[in-house]
């Protein structure tokens, strides 16, 4: 028999041993009912006629086939399953084994499960020993759609799981999300799909436990990802006697805050019963207040289970020789738990309370719940399969169409068409669009600064990003370009002239080539152009880098738009890389050329001072110079030679300016030569001129008026350079970076493509590899199409089976007790 196939039952006769076993099972359950045993409502096989039993058998077969198909199907549809979640030492793996009716995994302290284990359990009353198959796609080379189910013994399954755990223990990740899938048939198995997850870890804080803390985060991330599947029923295990301690629920409620798809199980009941001193404590434990569980859990109340310790085997340490003994021990443990609880309470347990105590009660509840979920989900699967079938058919037609166009003429035409569509998307992004999602492609100003560089002044201070308009918005394309320019204007426009020290003024004075006097206008020019060059040059490079980043981001967004509109050339990776490389090279070279043009302007502006250009604020300078004479007279007491020096190492202080400008004089510098020597208290014009020359030209001991003159001139020159630099840089980047994308890029890209077509068309489109890859894709798609078709037909049959047996099943649902 091929791997992964199940034998179909033969026709069951009245004297068949199969029928006798089923009848014995039904009679046994009926006897338990007559004895008054409490149990959940479970489907019971009534010994009616042969055809009825065949229908019931097919119903179980339909359920089990549905388990297998749902897990193997790789498209997103709801496949209900039970996901077991708990901390280490909560008894998670032991409970899974008890639900299955036999032991197969390693149970104990520490991490025993490093990969989720998916168990497709099938009830088979005729299977005396567990029959296990390990599911894998090891033959994917021959048919990727076929999952091989290799039959293994329990020892081989245990060895495989242990080997995987040891391998992952040495792996840096230590855990894997890939499931180990095992199919199980056994007479004690319920019809369930259970996923056993790695145990959650609660490490101690502190630097010594960082390795364990890292493992805990990895496990919690894995378990949270599994719980995200809305179709999974979460089996939340808690090992506590006080329901206010929500150890596992804390993690579960992050995904299922209302516990609406969660079954809560209190494990190790046999160890908790002796801890209760009063019957009221037991009452609260068995029926916790609704506010304690913070939700509406499945089943309305927790389940309580105990799994007897001891392993099955033939060794001296084994407690049970067979799985039958293990199963019997589980049943005895349930009876002892009920008896102990009744002794503690001083009364008999009610039917409702009994239905929540024991592994068998939990198993019946889960099986009934999961079967109902399957029956509800089957009608929804069929239209989903129809949709997937149509989608795969369309994909196969596209591959065939692409294979038919692999000739030179058609490939060139496809390349030129893509060129035009790509440029259209670029233009659309610059002009403005909302087609591309901002949450995926947009950048806030903070993101833009991180990825493209920030505008940083010479003092290392950044302009607060919150003050820039639209700083918090996620922008791309032309909107992002405009915001970057606005920030450039804000930052550069608000840049102040760096402080000027007395030492800088003295060093800038130097010595003339024809006399040793002081030329303060030259001094001011030397200082101003040096300060301006050092201040503005970094901004120029930062602007270029920022705008280049914004332009390069247009490429992936354009590709997204092409893919969204179905205009992308999938499979032609070499050609697409050629287009991307040409675009990036164009952007880089254009930005570099534009920045060089701006640099030429900055160099010319800071190399030679033209007063008509640099002195933009003549009115302010004239007002300052008008007060110069009065301030000179007041500060020097009419004699500049006797005025004391002003000992300030840094100029530009507002307090000093107020001190200097406080006296208001009516005498202007232009009137000094025409002043009349009318009284002895007023100096002659010649004396004043001599004093002025002495204090400014002949004397290098800086007077306050000299410092103020230099400072005022530097401020005016720096201000003029800043205004010219700001306007020039913005204009040039708009003209020589932004506009070439619109008017020069199309021709350059077309020229590059035509050159590539003429030189090496085969390598540009990689025709040989493309034919090979398309052939593989066609083969895989054809296999996928056949698989979907096969699954679609099977699900239709299952749906018809379930629809016809829903009526049959309901009369057989009887309450035991």
Indicate the pLDDT class of residue 544, thresholds 50, 70 and 90: very high
Judge contact between 704 and 635, C-beta under 8 A: yes
- The pLDDT of residue 575 is 74
- The pLDDT of residue 30 is 38
**Cβ count within 10 A of residue 774:** 16
In a 13 Å sphere around the CA of 262, the CA atoms on its Cβ side amount to 29
The arithmetic mean of pLDDT across residues 165-174, rounded, is: 78
| Cα(672)–Cα(700) distance, integer angstroms | 22
168 CB-near residues (< 8 Å, 6+ apart): 114, 115, 174, 175, 176
- The pLDDT of residue 482 is 94
> Nearest 5°: phi and psi at 800?
-65, -40
The arithmetic mean of pLDDT across residues 584-595, rounded, is: 94
DSSP code at position 2 = -
Tokens of 756: 């590539």
- The pLDDT of residue 4 is 40
Flag whether pLDDT at 287 surpasses 90. no
- The pLDDT of residue 727 is 92
> Of 78, 183, 163, which Cα lies nearest the Cα of 115?
163
Flag whether pLDDT at 284 surpasses 80. yes
Burial classification of residue 362, based on how many CB atoms lie within 10 Å of its CB (0-12 exposed, 13-18 middle, 19 or more buried)? buried
- The pLDDT of residue 690 is 52
| Cα(113)–Cα(122) distance, integer angstroms | 23
Query: Residue 123 pairs with which residues in a beta bridge?
Result: 186
The arithmetic mean of pLDDT across residues 131-155, rounded, is: 67
Query: Residue 81 pairs with which residues in a beta bridge?
Result: 232
Cα 389–390–391 angle (5° rounding)?
90
DSSP per-residue letters across 271-306: HHGGG--SHHHHHHHHS--HHHHTS--TTSS-EE--
- The pLDDT of residue 686 is 54
Burial classification of residue 429, based on how many CB atoms lie within 10 Å of its CB (0-12 exposed, 13-18 middle, 19 or more buried)? buried
- The pLDDT of residue 484 is 94
Instruction: For 802-812, write each residue's pLDDT tens digit.
Output: 666 553 443 33
Cα 719–724–727 angle (5° rounding)?
125
Supply the mean pLDDT for the chain: 74
| Cα(814)–Cα(810) distance, integer angstroms | 9
**Range with lowest mean pLDDT among 185-189, 458-462, 574-578, 767-771:** 767-771
- The pLDDT of residue 668 is 38
Instruction: For 237-254, write each residue's pLDDT tens digit.
Output: 988 888 888 788 889 989
| Cα(688)–Cα(665) distance, integer angstroms | 15
- The pLDDT of residue 675 is 42
**Cβ count within 10 A of residue 410:** 11
**Cβ count within 10 A of residue 238:** 22
The arithmetic mean of pLDDT across residues 523-544, rounded, is: 91
Indicate the pLDDT class of residue 506, thresholds 50, 70 and 90: confident
Indicate the pLDDT class of residue 141, thresholds 50, 70 and 90: very low
The arithmetic mean of pLDDT across residues 196-201, rounded, is: 86
The arithmetic mean of pLDDT across residues 88-100, rounded, is: 84
Percent of residues, the chain, with pLDDT higher than 90: 17
- The pLDDT of residue 128 is 83
| Cα(365)–Cα(375) distance, integer angstroms | 16
- The pLDDT of residue 131 is 87
* Residue with the two structure tokens 């202080």: 653
The arithmetic mean of pLDDT across residues 425-450, rounded, is: 90
Indicate the pLDDT class of residue 305, thresholds 50, 70 and 90: very high
492 CB-near residues (< 8 Å, 6+ apart): 455, 536, 539, 722, 725, 726, 729
> Of 67, 179, 195, 181, which Cα lies nearest the Cα of 135?
181
| Cα(530)–Cα(479) distance, integer angstroms | 35
> Between the ranges 256-260, 307-311, 378-382, 486-490, where is the mean pLDDT highest?
486-490
**End-to-end CA separation in angstroms for the chain:** 43
Burial classification of residue 561, based on how many CB atoms lie within 10 Å of its CB (0-12 exposed, 13-18 middle, 19 or more buried)? buried
- The pLDDT of residue 688 is 52
């Amino acid at each position: 028999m091929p791997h992964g196939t199940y034998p179909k039952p033969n026709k069951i006769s009245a004297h068949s041993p199969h029928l006798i076993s089923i009848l014995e099972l039904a009679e046994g359950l009926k006897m338990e009912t007559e004895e008054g045993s409490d149990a959940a409502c479970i489907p019971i096989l009534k010994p009616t006629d042969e055809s009825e039993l065949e229908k019931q058998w097919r119903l179980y077969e339909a359920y089990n086939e549905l388990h297998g198909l749902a897990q193997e199907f790789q498209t997103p549809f709801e496949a209900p399953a039970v996901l077991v979640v708990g901390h280490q030492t909560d008894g998670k793996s032991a409970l899974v084994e008890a639900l299955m009716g036999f032991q197969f995994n390693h149970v104990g302290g520490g991490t025993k499960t490093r990969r989720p284990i998916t168990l497709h359990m099938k009830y088979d009353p005729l299977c005396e020993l567990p029959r296990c198959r390990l599911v894998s796609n090891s033959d994917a080379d021959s048919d990727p759609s076929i999952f091989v189910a290799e039959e293994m013994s329990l020892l081989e399954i245990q060895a495989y799981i242990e080997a995987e755990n040891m391998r992952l223990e040495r792996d840096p990740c230590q855990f894997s999300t890939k499931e180990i899938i095992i199919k199980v048939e056994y007479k004690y198995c319920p019809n369930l799909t259970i996923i056993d997850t790695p145990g959650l870890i609660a490490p101690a804080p502190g630097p010594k436990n960082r390795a364990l803390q890292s493992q805990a985060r990895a496990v919690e991330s894995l378990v949270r990802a599994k719980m995200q599947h809305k179709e999974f029923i979460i089996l939340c295990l808690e090992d506590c006697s006080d329901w206010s301690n929500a150890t596992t629920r804390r993690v579960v409620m992050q995904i299922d805050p209302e516990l609406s798809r969660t079954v809560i199980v209190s494990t190790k009941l046999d160890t908790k019963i002796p801890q209760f001193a009063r019957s009221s404590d037991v009452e609260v434990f068995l029926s916790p207040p609704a506010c304690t569980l913070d939700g509406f859990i499945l089943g309305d109340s927790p389940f309580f289970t105990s799994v007897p310790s001891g392993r099955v085997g033939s060794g001296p340490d084994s407690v049970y020789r067979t799985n039958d003994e293990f199963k019997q021990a589980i049943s005895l443990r349930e009876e002892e738990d009920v008896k102990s609880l009744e002794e503690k309470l001083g009364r008999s347990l009610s039917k409702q309370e009994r239905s929540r105590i024991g592994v068998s009660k939990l198993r019946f509840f889960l099986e009934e719940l999961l079967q109902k979920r399957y029956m509800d989900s089957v009608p929804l699967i069929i239209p989903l399969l129809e949709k997937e079938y149509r989608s795969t058919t369309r994909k196969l037609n596209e591959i065939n169409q692409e294979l038919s166009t692999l000739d030179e003429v058609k490939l060139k035409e496809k390349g030129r068409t893509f060129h035009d569509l790509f440029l259209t998307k670029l233009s659309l992004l610059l002009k403005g669009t909302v087609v591309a999602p901002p949450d995926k492609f947009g950048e806030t100003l903070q993101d833009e600064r991180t990825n493209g560089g920030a505008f940083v002044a010479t003092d290392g201070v950044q302009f607060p990003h919150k003050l820039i308009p639209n700083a918090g918005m996620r922008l791309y394309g032309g909107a992002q370009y405009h915001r970057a320019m606005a920030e450039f204007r804000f930052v550069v426009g608000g840049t102040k002239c760096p402080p000027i020290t007395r030492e800088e003024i003295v060093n800038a004075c130097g010595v003339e080539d024809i006399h040793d006097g002081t030329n303060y206008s030259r001094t001011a020019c030397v200082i101003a152009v040096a300060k301006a060059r050092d201040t503005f040059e970094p901004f120029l490079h930062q602007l270029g880098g920022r705008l280049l980043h914004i332009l390069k981001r247009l490429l992936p967004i354009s590709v997204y738009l092409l893919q969204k509109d179905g205009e992308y050339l999938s499979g032609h990776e070499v050609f697409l890389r050629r287009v991307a490389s040409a675009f990036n090279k164009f952007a880089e070279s254009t930005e570099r050329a534009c920045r060089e043009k701006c640099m030429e302007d900055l160099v010319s502006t800071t190399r030679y001072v033209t007063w008509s250009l640099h002195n933009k604020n003549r009115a302010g300078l004239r007002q300052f110079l008008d007060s110069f004479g009065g301030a000179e007279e007041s500060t020097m007491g009419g004699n500049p030679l006797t005025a004391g020096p002003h000992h300030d190492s840094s100029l530009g202080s507002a307090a000093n300016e107020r001190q200097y400008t406080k006296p208001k004089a009516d005498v202007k510098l232009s009137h000094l030569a025409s002043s009349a020597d009318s009284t002895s208290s007023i100096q002659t014009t010649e004396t004043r001129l001599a004093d002025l020359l002495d204090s400014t030209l002949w004397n290098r001991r800086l007077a306050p008026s000299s410092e103020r003159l230099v400072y005022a001139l530097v401020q005016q020159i720096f201000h003029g350079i800043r205004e010219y630099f700001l306007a020039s840089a913005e204009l040039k980047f708009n003209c020589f970076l932004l506009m070439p994308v619109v008017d020069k890029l199309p021709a350059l890209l077309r020229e590059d493509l035509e050159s590539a077509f003429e030189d090496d068309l085969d390598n540009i489109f990689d025709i040989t590899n493309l034919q090979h890859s398309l052939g593989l894709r066609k083969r895989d798609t054809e296999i996928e199409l056949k698989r979907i078709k096969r699954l679609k037909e099977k699900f239709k049959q299952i749906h018809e089976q379930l629809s016809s047996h829903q009526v049959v099943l309901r009369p057989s649902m009887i309450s035991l007790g």
